[in-house]
Amino acid sequence: MTAQRTSDTGSASVTAGIYVYGIVRAEVPVPDDLPTVGGTDLQLVRSGPLAALVSEVDLDRPLGLRDDLLAHEGVLDAVAADSTVLPLRFGGVVQDLAAVRNELLAGNQDDFESILAELDGLVEFTLHGSYLDQIHLREIVGDDPEIRGLREELQGVPEDSGHAARVRLGELVSAAVERKRELTVGAAVAALSPHSAATSVREVSGQDDALSVALLVDRDRIEDFQRAVDELGEDFAGRVRLRLLGPLAPYDFLPED
């Protein structure tokens, strides 16, 4: 879901626009004193049963600074802690408040209401995990005779020699790490799926990264979910360090445009 950025009306340059964070129901309270994109007050612009979370932003400067992204996420996550919110993608700016009401809200009312109904009472948590002390690599070497043999073969060999063996070793280790991750992710999803409405597995890239999973959780079941995460951490003790973030706006569970 995106809002369009507009910086020209066709006849005169526009120096200010309305930054849109997300869509909520019209009765949702607006948190006070939150940092915003543009530094102006957070507002709720209503149209029928819906409202948009917005703030005024100066278009003379580019969006995309780290503080802008943090402000965007901070507003959405603060609202999501107590209310259902449909987050829009970072960087959405429309011309004025009338455009928010008439084009964004009224023009998409049925779609927005449908998505809010699907997300009602749900928040996102993200679970990240990393392998401790490269234990997964040691397990791989111990379990795979070919990897172990190639490592022994290459010990003491100059870096500019044994190219084919090094390439083969790298391929084997990469594939084994991916299989190890699949098992780790599978165990996490199996343990937490009974306590969540949906899961979304994210790709990870670092060699020590074990997992990154987004989970959609009923706000009334957060304590049970967190308890399940604690139990998973005990199961992973000594192998995988877990880090849980949330509650967050449901960024990973929006319909495709």
**Which residue's structure tokens are 């992204």?**
69
Is this structure's pTM higher than 0.95?
A: no
Strands 93-94 and 122-131: unpaired
Burial (CB count <10 Å: 0-12, 13-18, 19+), residue 24: buried
Question: What is the C-alpha separation between 93 and 79, in angstroms, rounded?
Answer: 19
Question: What is the C-alpha separation between 74 and 98, in angstroms, rounded?
Answer: 25
Question: What is the C-alpha separation between 77 and 73, in angstroms, rounded?
Answer: 6
What is the helix, strand, coil percentage profile of the chain, to 5?
Answer: 45, 25, 30
Q: Which two tokens stand for residue 171?
A: 């391929």
**pLDDT tens per residue, the chain (257 residues)?**
544 444 344 444 557 899 999 999 999 998 888 999 988 999 999 999 999 999 999 888 878 889 999 999 999 999 999 999 999 999 889 999 999 999 999 999 999 999 999 999 999 999 999 999 888 888 887 777 888 777 777 787 777 777 887 888 878 888 888 888 999 999 999 999 999 999 999 999 888 999 999 999 999 999 999 999 999 999 999 999 999 999 999 999 988 75
Question: What is the C-alpha separation between 196 and 118, in angstroms, rounded?
Answer: 14
